[in-house]
Amino acid sequence: MTVVTLGLSGAIGHDPAAALFINEKLIAAVEEERLVRRKHAKGELPYHAARQCLQIAGLRGSDVTHIAIPYAPISFFSKARWHYAYRHWYAPDRSIDSLFNGNRRYRRYLIDLRMLMEQLHISTSETRLVPIEHQLAHASSCYHLNESSEKTAIFCVDSKGEYSNIFLGYGHEGKIVKIKEFYNPDSLCGMYAALTDYLGFEILDGEFKVMGIAPFGDPYKYDLSSLAHFDGKNFKVNNKLISTIGLRRYKAKSKGHYFSKKLVEMLGPRRAGNLMEDPYVHYAAAIQKLYEDISVGLITYYLKDVLEETGRLAVAGTGSMNIRLNRRLSSLPLVKEYTVHPACSDAGTAIGAASYSVRALGKKIEPVTNMYLGPSYDSDQCIEACLLHREKPEWEVLASPYEKAAELLANGQLLAWFRGKMEFGPRALGNRSILANPNQIGIIDAINHQVKFREHWRPFSPSIIDSFAKDFLPKGQQDEYMSVSLPVSSHWQERYPVVVYEDGTTRAQVVTEKANEDFYRLLEAFQARTGHGLLINASLNRPGEALVCTPEDAVNMFMGTDLNYMIMENVLVTKREESETW
């Protein structure tokens, strides 16, 4: 019997996505935000994403045999619920409700899920529903998709699940074993999110900016250790300062924040001005260091035995999107092989829930070698998108898109590049990208002026052809998904300063011919023309928007920016010259 497993995320209220397995093979994965054009698609169910996955697989809703969701009921007798109630004793209404009505969100989600299944024409009576605990779904996404015969230590650092937000355990022979979990409100991600909020950014997106600014500050200038207590074994946040609820929350302009009035009294007013100023830049450095230190401490205490045995560590969860944390963890003396799931946010739990369900049936997951899991389009569809756009961009079919792209980039032009299957996960990996020559003078200003409008201190990341990456990056430390911050030798820092961060590291995508033949051919063509084996790679979207998905999205985005050139499949798109009026 063919087992068709559809994984669906979004029960937490953000980042809905769908992933589809046929037996043990991952066929497709799509994030809802890409289709509804709203970042994180808050409050949505993955209807369009699920339809897209079925379409990619050539299946109908009636073919689905299993629905896996990364959210499960938690027993009244679980210490998770009692822990939450005890830690929020100062807000008795929330505490009691959580204890006696702790599965209410799960019940509400089931109602929404049944409606979604009906919309997708999936039988609610014949299709098996498989609820997976949220952190187990994260753990599966980084373990089962890269399963080894040896034990693999697993660390999941996440914002929010049912109750658990930190998971420590290991995987062996297809089974995931829990060693220790920590429950809300004792959350590492919550601690980082609270400071993100205090530093004036939106949670879910602002954490990247805090991490990015951290190298500019002095982590020892201000002591933030009072935010959380860690004794080498146990972790507990100070919810008199952060992760507060109810009346303790700091409020401004009728908006409640993720920290208390006491935190403002201790640190000063919430940032409203320049982040680079004292004390805020130093707070960013301090919270990054505290976040890393506690993570290392937890792993060292709870996973030491497994790491001493095999040296394998896999991480997932929204908190593992922090590339500096990943660098620190991958550099631990006991870690010989480090895996971070490239779609480690809640969207990735669609894959994780489905993979856990499939593995529980005794089917070993086929190794996943890339994240190009979304829809693709042909040149005719790209031409049609140009013809239908109200501003009628000009277009021409290219004999060799790689050579034309290399020519434009070598001449200092920015290039929107739209080819092949859409990426799954937060990074543009060469199929939905804005590309640029890293040796072009003023190129960062050009990118920011024409499309990105980013802060001046935020560097861009490179995509590097594998043959050159052997020299550019440390030996044996290469990453295909831009998930880990890696040091760059001083020689190459001087040669390519625009892709090197303040601390001498970079977040690079190493491109292999096996993973992405199209993008590899472009890098080859650019290297042959210029001698440079890397390109600046930024995501193909405007600020605040999701990565583009369809040719129509790409043309809309292109025409709404100052970009001059875009290649979609084999089609070069340009803008019509404005006629002069007298």
The whole model's pTM is what? Answer: 0.95
Within 8 A by CB and 6+ apart from 194, the residues are 227, 241, 242, 243, 258, 259, 263
Across 93-126, b (16+ Cβ under 10 Å) vs e yields eebeebeeebbeebeebbeebeebbeebebeeee
List pLDDT tens digits, range 14-73: 999 999 999 999 999 999 999 999 999 999 999 999 999 999 999 999 999 999 999 999
Task: Please choose, from the candidates 295, 276, 286, 265, the residue with its C-alpha nearest in 3D space to the C-alpha of residue 200.
Answer: 276
pLDDT in tens, 152-167: 999 999 988 999 999 9
- In this prediction, residue 578 carries a pLDDT of 63
pLDDT of 533 > 70? The answer is yes
Tell me 422's DSSP state: P
pLDDT at 456: 77
Q: Alpha carbon of 118 to those of 57, 129, 327, 457, 458: distances in Å?
A: 19, 14, 44, 48, 45
| Percent of residues, the chain, with pLDDT higher than 70 | 99
User: Residues 6 or more apart from 21 whose CB is under 8 A from it?
Assistant: 3, 4, 5, 7, 27, 354, 355, 358, 365
Torsion (CA) 188, 192, 197, 201 in degrees, nearest 10: -130
**Residue spans per domain, the chain:** 4-135+346-360, 379-574
Query: What mean pLDDT is reported for the chain?
Result: 94
Instruction: State the average pLDDT over residues 404-432.
Output: 97
**Is-contact 47 35, C-beta < 8 A?**
no
Binned at pLDDT 50, 70 and 90, residue 478 comes out as: confident
pLDDT of residue 580: 43
pLDDT above 90 coverage of the chain, percent:
87
For the chain, give me the number of helices (H) and strands (E)? Answer: 20, 24
- Reduce the DSSP state of residue 436 to 3 states and report it: strand
544 vs 39: CA distance, rounded Å? 7
Alpha carbon separation from 477 to 333, 397, 482 (Å, rounded): 14, 39, 12
**Integer Cα distance of 480 and 336 in angstroms:** 18
Residue 280 to residue 282: CA distance in whole angstroms: 5
Top mean pLDDT of 266-275, 339-348, 429-438, 473-482 is at: 429-438
For residue 133, which of 99, 100, 156 has the smallest C-alpha distance? 156
**Which tokens go with 8?**
């669906």
Contact 242, 260 (CB under 8 A): yes
Q: Please give the order of strands across the beta sheet that includes 128-131.
A: 25-31, 17-22, 4-9, 66-69, 128-131
Residue range 495-519: mean pLDDT, rounded: 94
Topology given in CATH for the domain delimited by 4-135+346-360:
Nucleotidyltransferase; domain 5 (3.30.420)
Q: What is the pLDDT of residue 247?
A: 86
281-310 tens-digit pLDDT = 999 999 999 999 999 999 999 999 999 999
Tell me the two tokens of residue 380.
């005719």
CA distance 566 to 555: 9
Among the listed ranges 203-217, 470-484, 544-558, which one has the minimum average pLDDT value?
A: 470-484
SS3 410: helix
DSSP 286-355: HHHHHHHHHHHHHHHHHSHHHHHHH-EEEEESGGGG-HHHHHHHHTSTT-SEEEE-TT-SGGGHHHHHHH
Give the residue-averaged pLDDT of 71-93.
92
pLDDT of 253 above 90: no
Burial of 86 (0-12, 13-18, 19+ CB in 10 A): exposed
Domain 379-574: give its CATH superfamily: Carbamoyltransferase, C-terminal domain (3.90.870.20)
Given a cut of 70, whether residue 409 has pLDDT beyond it is yes
The sheet with strand 152-157 has its strands ordered as: 175-183, 164-172, 152-157, 312-316, 337-340
122-136 mean pLDDT? 97
Amino acid identity, position 245: I
| Alpha-carbon span 316 to 341, nearest angstrom | 6
Which of 131-135, 291-295, 575-579 shows the lowest mean pLDDT across its residues? 575-579
Distances (CA, A) of 218 to 91, 400, 456: 36, 50, 19
Residue 243: alpha-carbon gap to chain centroid: 23
